[in-house]
A and B are shown apart, each in its own frame.
Chain A
Amino acid sequence: MITENNKMVDLVHKNYVLISVFSRFGISLGFGDKTIREVCEEKKIDLQFFLEIVNSFLDHDYFPREQLKSFPIRLIVDYLTKTHHEYLEITIPEIERVISGREGICYEDKEHNFLLNTFFQEYKDELIAHIKREDEQVFPYALEIEQCYLQKKPAETLPDTFRDYTISRYLQEHDDIEEKLFDLKNIIIKYLPPPKNPRLCYQVIVLLFNLEKDMNDHSRIEEKVFVPKVAMMEKVIGRNNSRQ
């Protein structure tokens, strides 16, 4: 388990994928021998929140649901939003370059390139729609609920746009965005022939595995931390969860 006195550099040695988690907190490399506590103080990051996110990322058995739920929605939403941003602005374009860029994977048979491309574009559109709904609808709703909850205002004071929304509806509609990613991996590993530039396949597989791991972690926070927390606040301010 990671504690505040561990050095940042040791975290990276433990699992370098954490570097992308750091960036969501505004931490970049070059931290010398600084400990987690020092870096968090410097960057004004909530130390406990950072620790829980890192620990649950490293070890899925370590999932401090109750602790994570104690953090304000604002913090959780901020982390999730930054993750979305990273997916759309960095990770997906990175994968796209290798899959369909000029210098990307190239098959003998043009049809194979076309199939891979189309499948990836479809995945990308789905992901964009998924994220858009969370950023523009679900998260603002959750923040409003938190305001009501903190200021002890009744549910009737919610803005009109959110009158009929409930977090249980979000949970019902929350589709599994990792499924297509899973397929994409197998299509490249199992079903397409070897491309003319096999090294690129290796590159894209690494990117896909990392993204999948990260997305599993992300969805888990959404469903197991974010949703229960909002549902609890809905209840307190007197919103009936069964109303659809």
Chain B
Amino acid sequence: MRKINFLIITESFVYKTGIRFLLEEMYVTGKIHYSEDLSQIEKSNADYIFVDTDLPDVKDLYKQIRSGNEGVWPVLIALIHHRKDKDLVSSGIFRHFLDLSQSKSEILHALAEITKNSFPPDRAPVREEKLSEREKSILRFVALGYTNKEIAEKLFISMHTVITHRKNITRKLGIKTVSGLTVYAILNQLIDMNNVG
């Protein structure tokens, strides 16, 4: 799935870091960009744009909207300070409002609500951690002390493929070194301890 892209437009350090903090809790893999400049809206390829409604030229957005630019814009989310502020910016350009006076759980909930259809939060991603048969056989060789080149020759595959497999093995197991992989292989009966030199 494509990674979600955010843009936060504000001059406030606190807004910027606060919203980043919340987004990072929901999206481990997302990308977050910042700007202080409203004209970035038109250039940006973000999926969602947070707009600080206190920015001085926010009113110009309304003019642009009348000239019919709205269709090509990403989803705009207005950052407001209290529910009543909603009226101030309810002109149609903002698809959503994020009320910053709320508690953490309320804001997280609101964010999830906004993005749920196109990008469900990946806070608890289900990752495939089981090794494939191919990876297991490569792991066996690694644990027995074979080099990448030797493994490539034995299995009739390219060095590049071996390296890719090794990266995946390390990612899945959370083990980086050869001796660590050897311990794993012994513990899981992929090799016999007596075979290790």
Interface residues, chain A, with chain B CB atoms under 8 Å away: 111-112, 115, 119, 122, 179-180, 182-184, 186-187, 190-192
Contact = CB atoms under 8 A, between A and B. Distances in A.
16 contacts: A115-B187, A115-B193, A119-B179, A119-B183, A179-B176, A183-B176, A183-B183, A186-B174, A186-B175, A187-B183, A187-B184, A191-B183, A191-B184, A191-B187, A191-B188, A192-B187
B177 interface: yes
A122 B174 CA distance: 19
B180 interface: yes
- Helix, strand, loop or mixed for chain B's interface? helix
Interface in B138-197: 173-177, 179-180, 183-184, 186-188, 193
Given A115-B187, A186-B173, 6 more contacts: A179-B177, A182-B174, A183-B175, A186-B175, A191-B184, A191-B188
Nearest to A109: B187
Nearest to A184: B180
Contacts of B184: 187, 191
Interface of B: 173-177, 179-180, 183-184, 186-188, 193
Contacts, number: 39
A190 B173 CA distance: 9
A183 B177 contact: yes
Given A115-B186, A115-B187, A191-B187, A180 B174 contact: no
| Among all A-B residue pairs, the 8 with the closest Cβ atoms | A183-B180, A186-B174, A179-B176, A183-B175, A180-B177, A179-B177, A191-B187, A183-B177
Contacts of B180: 119, 180, 183-184, 186-187
Nearest to B186: A115
Contacts of A190: 174
Contacts of B183: 115, 119, 183, 187, 191
Contacts of B193: 111, 115
Contacts of B173: 186
Nearest to A176: B176
A182 B175 CA distance: 7
Nearest to B181: A183
Count chain B CB atoms within 10 A of each CB in A111, A115, A192 and give the residue with the most: A115
Contacts of B188: 191
Contacts of B175: 183, 186-187
Contacts of A179: 176-177
